[in-house]
Amino acid sequence: MLQSQARAAVPTARQHSRHVPSVQQQMQAQARTRFSGSSKLYLAGGSRLQTAVQQATQRSSKQQVAARAPARMCGIIGVFKHEGEANVEIYEGLLMLQHRGQDSAGMVSTNGRKFYEHKANGLVKDVFSQQTLLDSLKGSVGIGHVRYPTAGSASAQEAQPFFVNSPLGIYMIHNGNLTNCDQLRQLLNSSTSFFNRHLRTDSDSEVLLNVLADEIHRAHQRCLLEDKCDPNRKKMDMVFEAGEATMQLLQGAYSCISLIHGVGLVAFRDPHGIRPLVLGRRQGRRGEEWCVASEDCAFGPIGFERVRDVAPGEMIIIDDDGRLHSRQVAQCETLTPCIFEYIYLARPDSVLNDVPVYNFQLGLGTRLARRIQERGWDVDLVCPVPDGSRPAAIQISAELGLPYREGLVKNRYVGRTFIMPDQRLREMSVRRKLNAMPVVFAGKNVLLIDDSIVRGTTMSQIVDMVRKAGAAKVYLASASPPVRYPNVYGVDMPTRSEFVAHGLTEDEICETLGADGLIYQDVSDLIACGQDLNPAITRFDDSCFTGKYVTGDVNEAYLRNLEEQGRGKRRARPGRKTSLFGNNLQPSTPDAIDSGAGRLPASTSA
């Protein structure tokens, strides 16, 4: 009922077509107004520049990929209010999104005249620890960002938001990863760009911001020189036009929120809908107020209600008067959200693309239980690896009629191992983080449930801990299939050689982890869990399990170059585990970033 009312109140792309030209109509109109001569390329925008980017891509495919900042999982939020400061709502929303990044946090707000910014490395509560600092972020509109660390990205300069002062003044935050970032960087640094733009960081988010800024410049010039219009009265149209051209240039995954001076709060999502972006609304004293965030779990504490997901290829602008404008600026062929969001990244109290994350994880448990029954293992109890595997483990326990026990106690004052940038720190942190209880495990055949097994070293240490706690046998069940391929759309697992499943059979993986038995979720069952909850989703991005990349531009050469020259070259290769006391242990399996042991509590945000 709420969603139908919201769609009636908020014009979708289809409803907006009554008073906004279609993408095809706009492209045809632009084509009719192209200049001839040297100025043609500068003003052309998407179609001509897309050709330039494709040519750059073809040239660079024969070369090595330039080293650049790794992709990173992030959390983003934007808030519009009619009155009062937005900083508290943004702060609370970032706390609810803290699970998506613990390396840095940033916020920018505006009162319509001036921007107020602060960002630094650290947790949200530490970056904004002083009330006077939070109070200095004035204005009723603002955006906030959290980021998790990866190799080579610890600098506070990489923290978001990013800013360009021309045109208009634009701040941007971004969740995802561009797969043609190097070609776009070449474009921005060449004469093909409207301005030869200097980039201060290796971040693809800064590249994305400058591509959008470049396209707004083009739209501004077309307004002045071709249409003879007043750009000050066409700012919103120019941003929509630039959004269309930008999406023609970009490849990869991106959910973005921007503050554009004189325009408003802007949000847009890539045409595949790989990364999530959700719209919320509440009724204020002076009218409707809006929130856009990576997950709708951010809405509850600040009084917003979920309206809908931002559609793939849609751009939303909330103007300075609080009116919401929507335009479909890129054609969405098929919604293909990243399925790893539901397995690991998102909080269980979120709903993404009309799929409740908690129900999805329960479904994983139901389907995995059937496969476990076929093995005929003699099991005494089911134990989750905290925290992300709890829903699946609870369901498996119920389906198999086995006791559910919390035998691994988590120290909640140690950071996530998944997001630690250094392999040695990750390995040392595992035994600080988890403690196995002999009173639960002694003499028992234990079935450990994890949401995913990525690199394997963390899991092998957990198996060892459970055995030392007295377990007779240790069986493993992963709620997701084996991870065999890089996720290039914004999750930091870039190299195939890092994965414990790389080149190994299930029996060989089991031996590597030191378990008595191992079972993985089937890919078809994984997809069915999502489609049962939202049949409208005909395809998920499951590339880290299948090697099939939805954007169509990721091939073997791209992956090999990424491993050799890009993010992968900074990776520690398989080495030796590290003791808290400085003693080297046995050689380790590939780098340890198992999901469950490093996961934040599902019920908390930090």
Active-site residues, by number, are: 74
- Within 13 Å and on the Cβ side, how many CA atoms surround 63? 10
Can you spell out the DSSP letters for 525-542?
Answer: HHHHHHHHH-TT----B-
Closest CA to 142 of 285, 281, 291, 284: 291
Backbone φ, ψ for residue 578 (5° rounding): -115, 135
> Exposure of 216 by Cβ count < 10 A (0-12 exposed, 13-18 middle, 19+ buried)?
buried
Q: CA 533 to CA 530: how far, in whole Å? A: 5
Cα angle 442, 410, 394 (rounded to 5 degrees) comes to 70
- The verdict on whether omega for the bond into residue 387 sits within 30 degrees of 0, i.e. cis, is yes
Q: CA 157 to CA 57: how far, in whole Å? A: 28
Q: CA 501 to CA 488: how far, in whole Å? A: 18
End-to-end CA distance of the chain: 33
Contacts 24+ apart (CB under 8 A), 34-43: 35/225, 35/226, 41/192, 42/194, 42/218, 42/221, 43/218, 43/221, 43/222, 43/225, 43/226
Contacts 24+ apart (CB under 8 A), 166-169: 166/213, 166/217, 167/213, 167/216, 167/217, 167/220, 168/216, 168/235, 168/260, 168/261, 168/262, 168/263, 169/115, 169/260, 169/261, 169/262
Q: For 168-203, where are the alpha helices, taking DSSP H only?
A: 181-188
Say which amino acid occupies 360: F
Question: Would you say 106 and 97 are in contact if contact means Cβ atoms under 8 Å apart?
Answer: no
- The kind and range of the H/E element at 380 are none
Cα dihedral 26, 31, 35, 40 sign = positive
Question: Would you say 235 and 167 are in contact if contact means Cβ atoms under 8 Å apart?
Answer: no
Q: How, if at all, do strands 445-450 and 381-384 pair?
A: parallel
Q: CA 455 to CA 591: how far, in whole Å? A: 5
Given 3-state DSSP classes, what are the helix, strand and coil percentages for the chain, each rounded to the nearest 5? Answer: 35, 20, 40
- The verdict on whether omega for the bond into residue 271 sits within 30 degrees of 0, i.e. cis, is no
Query: How many other CB atoms are found less than 10 A from the CB of residue 384?
Result: 26
Closest CA to 507 of 499, 495, 516: 516
Q: How, if at all, do strands 170-178 and 252-260 pair?
A: antiparallel
- The kind and range of the H/E element at 400 are helix 390-400
Structure token pair of residue 325: 């404008």
Q: CA 37 to CA 582: how far, in whole Å? A: 68
